[in-house]
């Protein structure tokens, strides 16, 4: 299991050498906010509102003091704008009150913040602080089960099961590469099995088209968040 899992990861590393967090950010606060906003929408939409959002509210203190209606207007295109505005106001206020306006660099502190779960915390840790973390989004969980790495569906159990197969130093990039593969080839419906670089080690091979030309038509050069 471990050898096969690590072989898959090596091939995905060769296939997606540019894999990275597809949410744009300039500092830990921006990454924390855009990750919270990315729920139930695409990275592309979040990236589109990011410049306006942080021009108006560049730090937690500014965002905590934001006018609710103005903030709702900025995040409105992302859907669930009232709930997301409430999350940003509470999150920013907590950062000011409990962390002097700084984003903490520990998992146990991040998950205590309003609206922040382990997935969001691991995104911030891995990409803003270089602290290894596994990001179990829908793509990651789906591929981990397809590859036979775990049968768990609970994200925390998936995180621990997959983490046990890999060196800790690889966790962050493993997350990026699985997410990229899930967005570009290993789709939930009709995965591009015949155009998959790791198909020989995948127990789910054949769930999608195996004929190379048919499979190639399913490959996306840019992932759908």
- 27 flagged as catalytic: no
From 43, 84, 119, 170, the catalytic residue: 119
* CA pseudo-torsion sign 49, 51, 56, 59: positive
Options 109, 137, 154, 190, the catalytic residue: 137
Distance, CA of 118 to CA of 120 (rounded, Å): 6
Burial environment of residue 220 by CB neighbours within 10 A (0 to 12, 13 to 18, 19 or more): exposed
Our answer to whether residue 137 is catalytic in this structure is yes
The C-alpha R_g of the chain, in whole angstroms, comes to 19
E strands, 117-162, in order: none
* Residues with active-site annotation: 119, 137
């Amino acid at each position: 299991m471990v050898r096969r899992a690590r072989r898959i990861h090596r091939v995905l590393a060769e296939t997606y050498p540019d894999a990275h967090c597809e949410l744009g950010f300039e500092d830990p606060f921006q990454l924390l906010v855009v990750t919270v906003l990315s729920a139930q929408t695409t990275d592309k939409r979040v990236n589109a509102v990011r410049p306006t959002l942080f021009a108006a509210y560049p730090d937690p203190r500014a965002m905590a003091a934001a006018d609710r209606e103005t903030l709702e207007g900025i995040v409105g295109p992302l859907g669930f704008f009232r709930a997301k505005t409430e999350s940003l106001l509470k999150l920013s206020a907590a950062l000011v009150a409990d962390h002097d306006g700084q984003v903490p660099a520990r998992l146990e502190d991040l998950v205590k913040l309003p609206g922040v779960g382990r997935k969001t915390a691991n995104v911030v840790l891995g990409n803003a602080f270089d602290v290894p973390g596994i990001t179990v989004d829908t793509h990651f969980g789906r591929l981990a089960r397809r590859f036979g790495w775990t049968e768990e569906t609970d994200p925390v159990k998936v995180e621990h099961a997959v983490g046990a197969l890999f060196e800790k130093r690889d966790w962050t990039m493993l997350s990026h590469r699985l997410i990229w593969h899930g967005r570009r080839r290993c789709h939930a419906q009709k995965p591009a099995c015949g155009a998959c670089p790791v198909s020989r080690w995948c127990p789910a091979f054949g769930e999608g088209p195996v004929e190379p030309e048919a499979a190639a038509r399913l490959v996306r050069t840019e992932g759908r968040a």
